[in-house]
Chain A
Amino acid sequence: MDAEAAKYIAAGIAMGLGAIGPGVGEGFIGAKAMEAMGRNPEAGNTIFTRMFVAMAVTESTGIYSLVIALLVLFS
């Protein structure tokens, strides 16, 4: 296996494994936010903005692995 092939495999593994955590986490956040909005529709707006912030924070580990994958691929 030459270095170029190893690069592509490494980027794929990094991205694939890194996407598991944020996927599960964002699913939880979305589900809980929907539940909260269903119980208390008046608070929907604030819950929605907070949901977005929480999702962006949860997403960060996925983004780190994405940056690593891009670094492996393009540098």
Chain B
Amino acid sequence: MDFSLAPNILFYIYGFPVTNSFLTTLAIGLVLVIALWAMGKKMKTVPSGFQSIVEAVVVGSYDFLSQTSQSKKITKRLFPFLLTTLLLFLVGNLVSYLPGLSAISYNNIPLYRTATTDYNLILIISLFFLIIIQSTTIVTGGLLGYIKKFLNFKGPLDFVLGLMDIIGEIAKLVSISFRFFGNAFAGDVLIAVLIFIFPYILPLPFMGLLLISSVVQPAVFCILVLIYVQMSVVEKTKTE
């Protein structure tokens, strides 16, 4: 058994390292784009087959998100980003349940690695949402209000609290990205260890549990992003 936190590098394209999880992410993205684009080209009023599944996912996740948030406007605006992230993470998690994927290898390095066990992907997407969170504060509260939030000279206590807010913003990034990465990576490691101890039978109940967590964690990621964006909106009555 050998695990590494960093994904294995397959080959280089002009000095750009192409890793196995990067290839998996690209493949999942391509499949999602092509499948949804082909479905979108021939949409029917009465859905059937694939379209009804996609509609159930879209409508279900919208209802789920709008249930937890108070503001309809923010949910509607953020929903395209959240659904894209949700689909990528969900499919990326669930693809690992297809049997026989890790048997395919190139130069003795497995060609498949679960997309979400690569911290780079999750960090980039979390950074993207962190930028959205910060820009929401700037747009709703003004640039001056944004700076005032962090550099507050009203008193010594306010000054320290303002500095703590900077740490708080970074902690948001660390907490949402680590939570998701930890779950995905630990799932893969756990299954591999259990297969080593008692093959075929012992991993089965754990795989069922991990199936739940691999569906719940992307949803929780999206909900937390939505809640953070909602918290970052500066109310007009507060600033005036």
Known contacts A53-B220, A53-B224: A59-B179 contact under CB 8 Å: yes
Interface residues of A in 48-75 (CB under 8 A from B): 49-50, 52-53, 56-57, 59-60, 63-64, 66-67, 70-71, 73-75
Contacts of B183 in A (CB 8 A): 63
In the complex, A21→B182 CA distance in Å? 17
Sort A-B residue pairs by CB-CB distance and give the 9 closest, nearest first: A63-B182, A56-B220, A67-B182, A66-B182, A74-B3, A63-B179, A60-B179, A53-B223, A67-B178
Is A40 in contact with chain B by the CB < 8 A criterion? no
Interface residues on B, range: 20 to 34
Interface residues of A in 15-73 (CB under 8 A from B): 45-46, 49-50, 52-53, 56-57, 59-60, 63-64, 66-67, 70-71, 73
Contacts of B5 in A (CB 8 A): 70-71, 74-75
In the complex, A49→B19 CA distance in Å? 36
Known contacts A70-B5, A74-B4: A53-B68 contact under CB 8 Å: yes
Known contacts A56-B217, A75-B5: A49-B67 contact under CB 8 Å: yes
Contacts of B179 in A (CB 8 A): 56, 59-60, 63
Which residues of B come within 8 Å of A, CB atoms? Answer: 3-5, 64, 67-68, 175, 178-179, 181-183, 185-186, 189, 216-217, 219-220, 223-224, 227
Contacts of B216 in A (CB 8 A): 52, 56
Interface residues on A, range: 10 to 19
Q: Are A46 and B67 in contact (CB under 8 A)?
A: yes
What number of residue pairs across chains A and B have CB atoms under 8 A from each other? Answer: 49
Q: List 18 A-B contacts (CB under 8 A).
A: A45-B67, A46-B67, A49-B64, A52-B216, A56-B220, A59-B179, A60-B175, A63-B178, A63-B182, A63-B183, A64-B178, A67-B178, A70-B186, A70-B189, A71-B5, A73-B3, A74-B4, A75-B4
Identify the closest chain B residue to A63 (Cβ): B182
Contacts of B3 in A (CB 8 A): 73-74
In the complex, A9→B31 CA distance in Å? 43
Q: Which of A53, A67, A71, A74 has the most CB of B within 10 A?
A: A67
In the complex, A64→B183 CA distance in Å? 10
Contacts of A49 in B (CB 8 A): 64, 67-68
In the complex, A57→B227 CA distance in Å? 12
Contacts of A45 in B (CB 8 A): 67
Contacts of A74 in B (CB 8 A): 3-5
A66 CB to nearest B CB, Å? 5
In the complex, A63→B119 CA distance in Å? 14
B85 CB to nearest A CB, Å? 15
In the complex, A46→B179 CA distance in Å? 23
